[in-house]
Amino acid sequence: MRKHRIVTWLAAVGLSGALLVSGCSGSRDAAGNTGEKVSLKLGYYSSGSSDAKMQELVKRFMDKHPGIEVTTESAPYGKFFQKLDTQIAAGSAPDVWLSDGVYVAKFAERGAAKDLTDWVSKDLNTDDYYGLEFNKDANGRYWGVPQGVQIAVLFYNKEMFDKAGQPYPNENWTWDDLKQAAEVLTLDSSGRNARDPAFDGKAVNQFGLAFFSITEGWMSVFKSYGGGVLDETMQKSVIQSPENKRALEWIVDGMKRNLFTDPSDLKSFKSPVAPFPSRQAAMRIGIYARVLAANEAGLNYDVTLLPKGPDGKRFAPIIANSWVINSKTSDAKAQAAWEWIKYWVTDDEVQKEWARLGEAVPVKKSVANSPLFLETGTPPQNKQAFLDSFAFAGRLDDNAVWEEWLSKFNDSINRAFLGEMPVEEALAKADRDVQQVLDAFYQK
Amino acid sequence: MNYFRLKKAAGYAVILVSSLVMLLPFATAVFNSLKTYQQYTAVPSTWLPDPAQWSNYAEVWNMADFGTYTLNSLIVAILSVIGAILSNSMIAYAFARLEFPLKNTLFLIVLGTMMIPAVVTMIPQFIIFKELNMLDTLMPLWIIEWLGQPFGIFLLRQAFLSVPTAYEDAAKLDGCNPFQIYWRVFLPMCKPALATLAIFTFMTKWNEILLPVLYLTSKEKYTLPIGILALQGQWTGNEQYLVAAALMSLLPILIVFLLGEKYFVHGAGSSGLK
C-alpha cells in the first residue's frame, strides 16, 4: 500500500516536473543573437487573414533590408491596446506599432510617440498620400503615418430601394432627403411603411437608417450642420451651439419616429453594426471596412457620398490608422522603424497587397486611384465615393482624452436619443461633462 | 396522497423549466455554431441550421494551430492547479492549525488583498516578470498560483478548521510532526475542498484572457481563449466560427468537472460557496 503511494507520488512529481520544463522551454528567444543587425519589434492588431499578410510583408521587408531583423507581436484589436498601455507603462512597448487613428493624439500628447515631422518632410511627398494630414497636431507636427484609411460614406441596399420604388441616394442628397426616403423604407412587421397611419413603430422589421455611435452616427450630422464637439485647439468643448441643437433635433426626430436605429434598438442585434448586413436597415453611414461584412452577407448594395447639411456643408469622418514610433526607442531602432514605415507607404507592391485584403482605403493615392482598388469586381460599384469624400473629410475631434470625453458625451446624448432627456438639457450636460474631462487633463 | 404527487409534479415542473432556461443558451450556441454566416446573421433568425455545417468545426480547427493552443492551455491549467493546491493548502494549514505571532492580523491582510482590483497590480506585476525575463513565456500565467492566492487560502483554511482536533492529537501521539499531520491527516480529510479549489483554478486559468494577452506575444505560446479571440477580425465577425471554437474549448472543462463532480458539489456545499 505504502509502496503504491510512493510510486503514485513519484509519478505526480515527475509529471509536474515534465510540465514545468515544457512550460519554461522556449522562453528565451534568440533575439539577442543578431550580430550587426538592428532588431526591431513591430506591434500590430490583426485577425487571421491580415496577420498572415502582415507576416508575408515583414518577410519581404527583411529581404530588402538585410540589416534589420523584425520580430512581430500581434493581438486581437481590443486586447492589443490594453496590452500596449501596460507595455508603455513598463517601458517594453514595441519600437513601432499600428495605432487606431483615434489614438495617435493620445500617444503623442502623453509622450509615447516619436515626432516624425522631420522624416515626413524629408522622405515623403505629402501630396502622394491619403490621410497623412489627419495625423498632424494643432502645431502641424506629424505623429504617425497612415497604414490604411477608413472614411465614411452612405451605404444603401439597392433591393430595398427597388422594392419601395424609391430612387437611389445621390450626391445631391441632404439629410432631409435621407429622412424622407427613410419614411418609405422603414417597415413594420406587417410591411407598412412609416408614412402609413397604421404603421406600428414598436414592431419595426426594417429601419430606414442604421445609426451607430460617433463615426457611423452623429458626428457627420453634427459637423455638416456646422457643429462639432471640440474647438480647433481640441481643448475646449463647443457642444452647446445652435448648430448642434438643430442636428440633434433632426436625429432625435428620426429615432422617435423609428426611422433610425436608437441605442436600445441596436441591443437587439447580434452586434451594433449588424442591422445593415443582416438586411434590417436600408441605409447606413459606414466606413470602408463595412464592405467586408456586406459582401460576406451577399447584399446587393452600393455607396454614395454622405448627405449635405442644411447649408450645403458636407462632412465625412476619417480614421487614418497609423504607424507610430516609440519615443523611448534608440536612434538606430527608430531609424529602422522609419525604414519600415517608408517601405509600407511608398512600395507599390506592399500597397497593392494590403489593398487586396479589402480592409482599408490604400494610403498611396496612385494605388487607391487604380483599378486594383476601384474595380475589384465586388460591390460596392461606386468605390470612387470613398476617394471623393476626402475633399470634405475630417477627424473625430480626437485628442489625448478622446475615449474619455466620448464616453461622457454618449452618456448624455444617448439619453436624448431615447427620449429620456430634452435635447437642450442633454447638450448642456454633455458640454459640462466633456469640459470637465478636458480640464482634468489639459489644465494640470 | 394526491397532494404529495401534485407537490412532486410541481417540483419536477420547476426543475424542468429552470433546466430549460439553463440549457437554452447552450443549445442556441450549438445551433449557431452549425450555421453559415448568412444564416447566422439572418433576420428573423432561425433556430435550426439548414443544412447543418459540421464542417465549421473542421474549418475552425484548421484556421489556427489549436493543437498547440490546447497544449499551452493544459500546461498553464495543470501547473496552476498543482501550485494552487500545494501553496494554498500549506498556508491555509498554518493559519488554521499552527500558532505564531500576528496570525490573525496576517490572515486579515491576506484577505484584504482580495479587495485590490487586478488592474491596480497589473503594471507592477508586468514589470516584475519583465525584469525576471519571463515575458512571452507561460510562466507568469501559472507561477503566481504557486505563491498562494487569498481565495484558495480562505477556502482551505475553512476546511481545515472543520477537522476535529482529536485527529491532530492522535497523530501527534503517533509521533507525527506538523508537516506529517498536514500531509497525512488534513489533506486526505479535505479532499472535497481541494477538489473545489482544483476545479475553480482549472476553470479560471482555462478561461483567462487578460494575462495571456498581456504576457504572450508569439503565436506558438498562445492559450486557447486568445487563440479563439484572434479569429475575430476588427471588421468582420465570422461569429459562427467563434462559437464553434468556444464550444470546443468547453470540452476539457466539462471533462474535469465530470471527473470531480462528486467532490466539487460536496466541497462547494460544505464551504458555503454556492
pLDDT band at B249 (very low <50, low <70, confident <90, very high): confident
Domain encompassing residue B55: 1-59
**Looking at residue A21, what is its pLDDT?**
39
Distances (CA, A) of A356 to A10, A46, A53, A360, A374: 57, 15, 10, 9, 11
Are B255 and B142 members of one domain? yes
Whether the pLDDT of residue A12 is over 90: the answer is: no
CB A46 to CB B230 under 8 A? Answer: yes
**Looking at residue B251, what is its pLDDT?**
85
CB A290 to CB B214 under 8 A? Answer: no
Whether the pLDDT of residue A6 is over 60: the answer is: no
Q: Does A274 touch chain B (CB under 8 A)?
A: yes
In what helix (H) or strand (E) does residue A321 lie, and over which residues does it extend?
strand A316-325
- Looking at the complex, report in whole angstroms how far the Cα of residue A55 sits from the nearest Cα belonging to chain B: 12
**Looking at residue B47, what is its pLDDT?**
82
| Whole-number Å distance between alpha carbons of A103 and A115 | 15
Residue A317 has phi, psi (to 5 degrees) of -65, 140
Are B41 and B134 members of one domain? no
**Looking at residue A149, what is its pLDDT?**
96
Beta bridge partner(s), residue A156:
A283, A302
- Looking at the complex, report in whole angstroms how far the Cα of residue A181 sits from the nearest Cα belonging to chain B: 22
Q: List the domain boundaries for chain A.
A: 38-148+319-394, 153-212+266-305, 214-260+401-444
Question: Quick check: helix, strand or coil at residue A112?
Answer: coil
User: For A208-316, where are the alpha helices, taking DSSP H only?
Assistant: 218-224, 242-256, 263-266, 290-296
Are B184 and B91 members of one domain? yes
Side chain identity, residue A330: S
Minimal Cβ distance to B37: which of A24, A48, A296:
A296
**Looking at residue A395, what is its pLDDT?**
95
Q: Identify whether the C-beta of residue A146 lies closer than 8 Å to the C-beta of residue A345.
A: yes
Q: Does B82 touch chain A (CB under 8 A)?
A: yes
Percent of chain A with pLDDT over 70: 91
pLDDT band at A7 (very low <50, low <70, confident <90, very high): very low
Query: Which cell numbers hold the place of A101?
Result: 487613428
Are B127 and B259 members of one domain? yes
Percent of chain B with pLDDT over 70: 93
Whether the pLDDT of residue A3 is over 60: the answer is: no
Q: Identify whether the C-beta of residue A310 lies closer than 8 Å to the C-beta of residue A157.
A: no
> Which tens digits make up the pLDDT trace of A74-103?
888 878 898 999 999 999 999 999 999 999
Whole-model pTM?
0.82
Are B190 and B68 members of one domain? yes
| Whole-number Å distance between alpha carbons of A295 and A282 | 15
Q: Identify whether the C-beta of residue B37 lies closer than 8 Å to the C-beta of residue B222.
A: no
Q: Which of B59, B85, B106 is the last residue of a domain?
A: B59
| Whole-number Å distance between alpha carbons of B244 and A134 | 40
Any idea which of A144-153, A301-310, A435-444 has the lowest mean pLDDT? A435-444
> Which tens digits make up the pLDDT trace of A360-387?
999 999 999 999 999 988 999 999 999 9
Within this chain, domains A38-148+319-394 and A153-212+266-305 share the same CATH topology = yes
pLDDT band at A10 (very low <50, low <70, confident <90, very high): very low
pLDDT band at B41 (very low <50, low <70, confident <90, very high): confident
Number of H helices, E strands in chain B: 15, 0
CB A86 to CB B123 under 8 A? Answer: yes
- For residues B236 and B93, the model is more confident at B93
CB B210 to CB A82 under 8 A? Answer: yes
**CATH code, domain with B222:** 1.10.3720.10
> Which tens digits make up the pLDDT trace of A24-62?
333 333 333 445 789 999 999 876 678 889 999 999 999
> Which tens digits make up the pLDDT trace of B224-233?
988 888 777 6
Whether the pLDDT of residue B267 is over 70: the answer is: no
| Residue labelled with grid coordinates 491596480 | B120
CB B214 to CB A28 under 8 A? Answer: no
Q: Identify whether the C-beta of residue A176 lies closer than 8 Å to the C-beta of residue A254.
A: no
- Looking at the complex, report in whole angstroms how far the Cα of residue A293 sits from the nearest Cα belonging to chain B: 6
If one counts the domains in chain B, the total is 2
Are B37 and B84 members of one domain? no
**Looking at residue A317, what is its pLDDT?**
97
- The dihedral over CA atoms of A60, A63, A67, A73, expressed in degrees to the nearest 10, equals 30
Question: Quick check: helix, strand or coil at residue A46?
Answer: coil
> Which tens digits make up the pLDDT trace of A205-229?
999 999 999 999 999 999 999 999 9
Pick the residue of B32, B43, B63 with the most A CBs within 10 A to test the interface with A by mutation.
Answer: B43
CA A394, A400, A402, A408 torsion-angle sign:
negative
CB atoms within 10 A of CB A15: 12
**Looking at residue B43, what is its pLDDT?**
65
Provide the CA B272 distance to its chain's centre, in angstroms: 18
CA B181, B184, B185, B187 torsion-angle sign:
positive
> Which tens digits make up the pLDDT trace of A335-350?
999 999 999 999 999 9
Are B223 and B203 members of one domain? yes
**Looking at residue B2, what is its pLDDT?**
77
- Looking at the complex, report in whole angstroms how far the Cα of residue B1 sits from the nearest Cα belonging to chain A: 48
**Looking at residue A420, what is its pLDDT?**
96
CB A27 to CB B137 under 8 A? Answer: yes
CA A327, A333, A337, A342 torsion-angle sign:
positive
Domain A38-148+319-394: CATH superfamily is Periplasmic binding protein-like II (3.40.190.10)
Residues of B in contact with A289 (CB under 8 A): 234-235
- Indicate the burial class of A246 (C-beta count within 10 angstroms; 0-12, 13-18, 19 or more): middle
Are B55 and B75 members of one domain? no
CB atoms within 10 A of CB A312: 8
Domain A153-212+266-305: CATH superfamily is Periplasmic binding protein-like II (3.40.190.10)
Beta bridge partner(s), residue A146:
A322
- The dihedral over CA atoms of A358, A364, A366, A368, expressed in degrees to the nearest 10, equals 20
Nearest CA-CA partner of B75 in B206, B189, B163, B171: B206
Whether the pLDDT of residue B208 is over 60: the answer is: yes
Whether the pLDDT of residue A324 is over 60: the answer is: yes
Instruction: Give mean pLDDT, residues A347-354.
Output: 94
**Looking at residue B106, what is its pLDDT?**
96
| Residue labelled with grid coordinates 457627420 | A220
Number of H helices, E strands in chain A: 18, 11
**Looking at residue A14, what is its pLDDT?**
46
| Whole-number Å distance between alpha carbons of B176 and B178 | 7
**Looking at residue A28, what is its pLDDT?**
35
Are B140 and B173 members of one domain? yes
Residues of A in contact with B43 (CB under 8 A): 205, 278-280
**Looking at residue B261, what is its pLDDT?**
76
- This complex has an ipTM of 0.74
pLDDT band at B270 (very low <50, low <70, confident <90, very high): low
**Looking at residue A230, what is its pLDDT?**
97
Whether the pLDDT of residue B268 is over 80: the answer is: no
**Looking at residue B65, what is its pLDDT?**
86
Pick the residue of A71, A83, A157, A215 with the most B CBs within 10 A to test the interface with B by mutation.
Answer: A83
Are B186 and B91 members of one domain? yes
| Whole-number Å distance between alpha carbons of A328 and B193 | 49
Are B230 and B110 members of one domain? yes
**Looking at residue A29, what is its pLDDT?**
36
Are B137 and B81 members of one domain? yes
How much is the mean pLDDT over chain A?
90
